[in-house]
Amino acid sequence: MIRLLICDDHAVVRSGLSMLLNGRNQIEVVGEASEGDEAIALAQQVKPDVVLMDLSMPHGKDGMTASAELKKLMPEVNILILTMHDDEQYLFQAIKVGASGYILKNAPHDELVGAIQAVSAGEAYLYPSATKKLMSQFVNQRGFMAADDEVYNQLSEREKEVLNWLAKGYANKEIAQLLFISVKTVEAHKSNLMEKLGLKTRPELIKFALQKGLLHFDDQ
């Protein structure tokens, strides 16, 4: 079961999501919070796999600030932003603070379930048009991070392979099977390449891969 914590300032939204998700698709709702500080405290108690986090919560700590603080306290927790804001600045900031996914509140139920399952498995999830926004940002502004050829060339060929599969959302076990190496070896390569590139989270790795032109998305 995927242990899910829901954070939204509207009680009707929380209860609706809980009724929709709890006990279905291997998802168990283990807590509900109305603002960021409550979500942080509750997360440390119930140890969720995924936190479904709203961004705009005017009566408490906002979702962006809470996400950044929660990732520092519990880096193993996967945060999925659920918001009405279809805005690239919110999207980029969410990735920057360590969120593993970003989905809009008007998304279909099946898409929300898929996003929760993806981030729980250690993958990244962005709603379809968000990939275009990220690509456009890197093409037009020459990148969201400082990542040039000299830095990239510090990686070994195997580290570049692991980087490619990680950025595409594959889990360590899947990469091990694809490259015929052990999971521990994948983890070692991942640790080395993240250190060389000065990255800390998978979303940062995705941004780097986009800037380097390592990822290709079908036109949505």
Find the CATH number of the domain harbouring 159: 1.10.10.10
pLDDT of residue 137: 54
| Same-domain check for residues 111 and 147 | no
**Residue entry with tokens 């690509």:** 135
| Same-domain check for residues 12 and 112 | yes
| Same-domain check for residues 62 and 169 | no
| Same-domain check for residues 11 and 114 | yes
Domain termination site, one of 126, 159, 179: 126
Flag whether 131 is in a domain: no
Flag whether 99 is in a domain: yes
Domain termination site, one of 126, 156, 175: 126
Q: Rounded to the nearest 5°, which phi and psi values hold at 51?
A: -110, 120
| Same-domain check for residues 9 and 111 | yes
Flag whether 183 is in a domain: yes
Flag whether 188 is in a domain: yes
Flag whether 133 is in a domain: no
pLDDT of residue 119: 93
Query: Mean pLDDT across the chain, nearest whole number?
Result: 84
Flag whether 111 is in a domain: yes
| Same-domain check for residues 180 and 104 | no
Please count the other Cβ atoms lying within 10 Å of the Cβ belonging to residue 15.
13
pLDDT of residue 142: 47
pLDDT of residue 162: 92
Q: 192 burial class (0-12, 13-18, 19+ CB within 10 angstroms)?
A: middle
Instruction: Label residue 31 by pLDDT band (50, 70, 90).
Output: very high
Instruction: Label residue 216 by pLDDT band (50, 70, 90).
Output: very low
End-to-end CA distance of the chain: 31
Give the residue-averaged pLDDT of 201-217.
Answer: 69
Between 150 and 68, the more confident residue is 68
| Same-domain check for residues 166 and 196 | yes
Contact 102, 91 (CB under 8 A): yes
Contact 4, 116 (CB under 8 A): yes
What are the tens digits of pLDDT across the range 184-206? 999 999 999 988 888 887 777 77
| Same-domain check for residues 200 and 174 | yes
Query: What's the domain count of the chain?
Result: 2
Flag whether 95 is in a domain: yes
pLDDT of residue 206: 75
Give the residue-averaged pLDDT of 47-74.
Answer: 92
pLDDT of residue 199: 83
Locate 62 and state its tokens.
């906002």
Exposed e or buried b for every residue in 67-106, given b needs 16+ CB within 10 A? bbbbbeebeebbbbbbbebeeeebbbbbbbbbbbbbbbee
Domain termination site, one of 75, 96, 126: 126
pTM above 0.85, yes or no: no
Q: Best-predicted range by mean pLDDT among 18-22, 171-175, 211-215?
A: 18-22
| Same-domain check for residues 97 and 23 | yes
Using alpha carbons only, give the angle 115, 116, 121 rounded to the nearest 5 degrees. Answer: 95
pLDDT at 220 over 60: no
Flag whether 197 is in a domain: yes
User: DSSP letters of 118-174?
Assistant: HHHTT--EE-HHHHHHHHHHHHHHT-SS---HHHHTTS-HHHHHHHHHHHTT--HHH
| Same-domain check for residues 201 and 155 | yes
Please report, for the domain that includes residue 31, its CATH number: 3.40.50.2300
pLDDT of residue 215: 59
What are the tens digits of pLDDT across the range 101-118? 999 999 999 999 999 999
Give the residue-averaged pLDDT of 172-178.
Answer: 90
For 23, the domain range is 2-126
